[in-house]
Amino acid sequence: MRLTGELNRGSIVKQTVWLPGGVAGARRRFALLQDIDGTRQEGPVSLRRHDAPTLSLRALRNGKQKRYPPLALTVIYADERGTPVGREPIHWRLLTDLAVEDLAAAVGKLDWYALRWKLESYHKVLKSGCQAEHARLRTAERLTNLLAVLCVVGWRVFWLTMVNRANPDAPPESVLTKPEIELLDRMAASTMPTGEMPERTVGGYLMQIAKLGGYLARAKDPPPGTMVIWRGLARLTDMLLGFELKHTGCG
């Protein structure tokens, strides 16, 4: 059968979910809308049921056909109705071999797919920022150890980027160390007009870090992305190392 849901508020979303036969309930209620910036909204949904076939994929007619049986897939349609401002409407056609027995299960798969863009951003930090692919280690054990460290570094860069968007008014101590905050305060005191200091919030301090990475902070610029945060943190780490060496000495 096919379940079609329409979100009746603001930006309207239609979800057409292909399900195996036998799912009861011609009309149900459901609420889901997630904006491109991650904001979740809720609203009523009306459902209509229609009979529809399932999708089956078979291997090519060669020697591998005997090794791989036909694969039964569920097709999930997610269409955004209306004309959004500044972008194309969303049209998702998702294939899954996981069980989709009701609308809640189908929406769960959509939520998983919505995380794809965050995963892409995280991998971008690992590949373009940490340069994980440029490693020239000769053993798998050494490469595994390197990737374990880079994953933590990449996670922090990505996490800081998302926290700056989701909770910019949080205290800076929740995401930065005391030496990092102290160094940023000293830099602000020497560069900002007399009497002005950055806001004591996550957003204020991460804006300083982003500017170290080349962020221009113009009025219409989007929030800082992962790469400017990465470059800013790299510069901040170098300055912090020199700052600590000056005060602790060496040798």
Whether residues 157 and 241 share a domain: the answer is: yes
Closest by CA to 152, choosing from 168, 129, 134, is 129
Whether residues 141 and 95 share a domain: the answer is: no
Whether residues 138 and 83 share a domain: the answer is: no
- Give the Cβ contact number of residue 57 at 10 Å: 11
At 53-106, the pLDDT tens digits run: 356 666 556 666 667 677 778 888 887 777 778 888 878 888 888 888 888 888
Distance CA 229, CA 208 (A): 10
Whether residues 86 and 186 share a domain: the answer is: no
Distance CA 53, CA 55 (A): 7
Whether residues 174 and 89 share a domain: the answer is: no
Structural domains counted in the chain: 2
Residue at a domain's end among 92, 114, 136? 114
CA 116 to chain centre: 7
Closest by CA to 100, choosing from 73, 66, 132, is 73
Question: Is pLDDT above 70 for 215?
Answer: yes
Residue 67 has what pLDDT? Answer: 72
Whether residues 98 and 142 share a domain: the answer is: no
Partners of 64 in beta bridges: none
- Name the residue range of residue 172's domain: 118-248
Residue 57 has what pLDDT? Answer: 64
* Higher per-residue confidence, 44 vs 115: 115
Is there a contact between 224 and 207 (Cβ–Cβ < 8 Å)?
yes
Residue 25 has what pLDDT? Answer: 35
What is the percent of the chain with per-residue pLDDT over 90, rounded to a whole number? 35
Whether residues 206 and 142 share a domain: the answer is: yes
Residue at a domain's end among 70, 91, 114? 114
Whether residues 85 and 186 share a domain: the answer is: no
Q: Specify the CATH number for the domain of residue 212.
A: 1.10.740.10
At 151-199, the pLDDT tens digits run: 999 999 999 999 999 999 999 999 999 999 999 988 888 776 665 666 8
Residue 90 has what pLDDT? Answer: 78
- Tell me the HSE value of 128 on the side-chain side, using a 13 A CA sphere: 15
Kindly report whether the global pTM for this prediction surpasses the value 0.95: no
Residue 35 has what pLDDT? Answer: 44
Whether residues 104 and 222 share a domain: the answer is: no
Residue at a domain's end among 70, 93, 114? 114
Whether residues 123 and 243 share a domain: the answer is: yes
Per the prediction, the chain carries an average pLDDT of 75
